[in-house]
Amino acid sequence: MIDLQVHDQVHVLRMQLGENRFNAASLDALNQALDRVEKSDLPSALVTCGEGKFYSNGLDLDWMANAGQAAALENVQRVHELLARLLTFPMITVAAINGHAFAAGAMFALAHDYRVMRSDRGYFCLPEVDIQIPFTRTMNALILRRLPNTTAHEAMTTGQRYTAATALERGIVQHVESEQDVVPKAIALAKSFAGKPRATLAKIKQTAYADVLACVAQDRANPAVLG
């Protein structure tokens, strides 16, 4: 499900779950892999990627529909907590967007410090307006904090599908590379920041994104507001 390797001091976490949607099993696997990264003694950084044409297509809506309301709400909250974990991760993180990044999968990419997107295939998209699922407090806060204001408004209200070139122009990603270079570029970028003091880096991120973390707690306390 999750392949975790080390390349040049960089942990490379590869999601191997097809569309890499978030459900109970995939969230368990992701968190277990992140636990291993955090416990490593290496001076390191983290790269995440998918396989083929998918980075992540977000929430596993089919699984949630069959799991019942309580499990579905818990799944959304666990995604909130995963986003917060990446946003405040105690090392530099780079999303190697190898293919489609939709909805919560796009938000997962935004929770990283940097994003490198494949040039020839895949879209970055927040389709919630079209699938009639309002953004939660946590999702809204994350998107508004990680995207330029005009881009956030456009992405959230139109559901536009951004190619890599447009995503670079709009400030969604920092680099665009060919299919064969997207992961190597992400690794090289991550390696350039490997070894930052973890405790200090985590504290800086926690302070910088305290508003997003507060929304995670608010959504946990009031799950009825979840879309």
Q: Write out pLDDT tens, residues 18-77.
A: 999 999 999 999 999 999 999 998 889 999 999 999 999 999 999 999 999 999 999 999
The fold of 2-225 is 2-enoyl-CoA Hydratase; Chain A, domain 1 (3.90.226)
How many Å apart are CA 191 and CA 225, to the nearest integer? 40
Q: How many CA atoms lie within 13 A of 143 on its CB side?
A: 25
The reported pLDDT for the residue numbered 178 is: 96
Q: Write out pLDDT tens, residues 158-199.
A: 999 999 999 999 999 999 999 999 999 999 999 999 989 999
Measured torsion, CA atoms of residues 189, 191, 50, 91, in degrees rounded to the nearest 10: -100
Average confidence (pLDDT) over 121-137: 95
Q: What percent of the chain has pLDDT over 90?
A: 93
Confidence of residue 227 (pLDDT cuts 50, 70, 90): very low
Residue 130 has pLDDT above 90, yes or no: yes
Where do the domains of the chain lie? 2-225
Confidence of residue 224 (pLDDT cuts 50, 70, 90): low
Please state whether beta strands 10-15 and 2-7 pair in parallel, antiparallel, or not at all (unpaired): antiparallel
Residue 226 has pLDDT above 60, yes or no: no
Q: Write out pLDDT tens, residues 80-106.
A: 999 999 999 999 999 999 999 999 999
Average confidence (pLDDT) over 137-155: 98
Residue 112 has pLDDT above 70, yes or no: yes
DSSP structure class, residue 120? S
Tokens of 33: 């892999």
The reported pLDDT for the residue numbered 204 is: 98
How many Å apart are CA 121 and CA 117, to the nearest integer? 9
Contact 90, 202 (CB under 8 A): yes
Confidence of residue 222 (pLDDT cuts 50, 70, 90): confident
- pTM summary value: 0.96
Residue 223 has pLDDT above 80, yes or no: no
Confidence of residue 225 (pLDDT cuts 50, 70, 90): very low
